[in-house]
């Protein structure tokens, strides 16, 4: 099974330059695949392949330093109690975006929503709201559990008159879904990555969604002023736990009553997330789980 990291990662580069990659193979056992991959993604691995009991991770050659190798050993000890041996193999150059697109199939997220690759046939189009994407990155295609969890809880929580903010928009899929699910107000989608912004703008346009502003912005620096100016009532944040904890003081400072959907968090980190939310006055209203991942709906205590 080929899949990509649970972060917004580029599958190919915008320029014609090709980077060299290494395949790092670790015999983790199937029970550790998801968690191991998530932790490796945090230190720079971009994609993974499951094969029998072996997890193969792919990383740019120039990032594979002695320090990173120590980090892999630390992850092994954290999950299994002992450093696991790994092998290194250089990869031939290839078009990673082309490889990724070959694997994409329509994803039926729920009874109402489906994510499809633009230009590919989908037999059940009449029965669902379609989000068409041009997948220049893996995250936000619907192939990862966190995207699906966010979309399902968005269906449950979204109100037509919500003021919606999408933090770390990636492909723009969550903002597009909010519009297609019937939200009537202007939507703001932000990301700190220029390539994500380009992809999101393209997807918003192709889905013919009006009044979605896609803005290049660093949430760590700008979030408090954005929240204050926008009167946002619903925030979508499919990011990661460290970033969530960094942003919580700004979420807490919002002068408005906001509800936040958080994902990008592993199941075993749920107690840490709940504790962090509580520290800033947020309680958990709803939780959903798929595989090794969770999504929570949090709101300030009244």
Nearest Cα to 189, choosing from 214, 171, 219, 162? 214
Give the residue extent of every domain in the chain: 2-98, 144-300
CA-to-CA distance for 292 and 142, rounded, in angstroms?
16
Band the pLDDT of 9: cuts 50, 70, 90.
very low
Q: Is 50 exceeded by the pLDDT of residue 16?
A: no
Global pTM reads 0.76
Q: Is 50 exceeded by the pLDDT of residue 291?
A: yes
pLDDT of residue 15: 34
pLDDT of residue 1: 41
Collect all residues with Cβ–Cβ distance below 8 Å to 141 and sequence separation of at least 6. Answer: 104, 107, 115, 117, 133, 135, 147, 171, 173
**What digits encode the pLDDT tens for the residues 140-198?**
555 678 899 999 999 999 999 999 999 999 889 999 999 999 999 999 999 998 888 99
Band the pLDDT of 33: cuts 50, 70, 90.
confident
Task: Say what angle helices 194-206 and 173-180 make with each other, to 10 degrees.
Answer: 30
CA-to-CA distance for 261 and 241, rounded, in angstroms?
13
pLDDT of residue 274: 97
Q: Is 60 exceeded by the pLDDT of residue 14?
A: no
Both tokens assigned to 229: 């100016």
Instruction: Return the CATH class of domain 2-98.
Output: alpha beta
Q: For the ranges 35-44, 87-96, 203-212, which has the lowest average pLDDT?
A: 87-96
**What digits encode the pLDDT tens for the residues 93-102?**
655 556 556 6
Residue 270 or 32, more confident: 270
DSSP assigned state of 73:
H
CA-to-CA distance for 266 and 273, rounded, in angstroms?
10
Q: Is 80 exceeded by the pLDDT of residue 255?
A: yes
Torsion over CA: 222, 228, 230, 236 (sign): positive
In the chain, the percentage of residues whose pLDDT exceeds 90 is 53
CATH architecture of 144-300: 3-Layer(aba) Sandwich (3.40)
């Amino acid at each position: 099974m080929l899949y990509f990291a649970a972060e917004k990662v580029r599958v190919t580069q915008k320029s014609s330059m090709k980077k060299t990659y290494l395949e790092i193979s670790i015999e983790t056992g199937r029970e550790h695949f998801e968690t191991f991959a998530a932790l490796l993604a945090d230190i720079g691995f971009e994609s993974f392949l499951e094969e029998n009991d072996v997890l193969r991770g792919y990383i740019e050659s120039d990032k594979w330093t002695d320090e990173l190798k120590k980090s892999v050993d630390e992850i092994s000890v954290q999950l299994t109690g002992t450093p696991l041996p790994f092998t290194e193999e250089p990869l031939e150059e290839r078009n990673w975006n082309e490889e990724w697109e070959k694997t994409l199939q329509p994803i039926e997220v729920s009874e109402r929503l489906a994510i499809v690759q633009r230009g590919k046939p989908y037999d059940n189009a009449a029965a669902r709201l379609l989000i068409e994407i041009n997948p220049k990155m893996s995250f936000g295609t619907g192939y990862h559990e966190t995207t699906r969890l966010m979309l399902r809880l968005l269906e449950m929580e979204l109100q037509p008159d919500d003021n919606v903010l999408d933090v770390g928009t990636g492909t723009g899929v969550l903002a597009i879904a909010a519009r297609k699910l019937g939200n009537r107000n202007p939507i703001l989608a932000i990301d700190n990555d220029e390539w994500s912004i380009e992809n999101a703008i393209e997807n918003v346009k192709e889905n013919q969604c009006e009044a979605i502003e896609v803005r290049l912005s660093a949430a760590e620096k700008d979030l408090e002023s954005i929240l204050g100016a926008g009167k946002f009532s619903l925030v979508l944040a499919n990011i990661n736990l460290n970033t969530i904890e960094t942003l919580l003081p700004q979420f807490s400072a919002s002068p408005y009553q906001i509800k936040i959907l958080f994902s990008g968090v592993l199941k075993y980190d749920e107690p840490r997330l709940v504790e962090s939310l509580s520290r800033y006055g947020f309680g958990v209203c709803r939780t959903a789980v798929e595989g090794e991942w969770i999504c929570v709906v949090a709101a300030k205590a009244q």
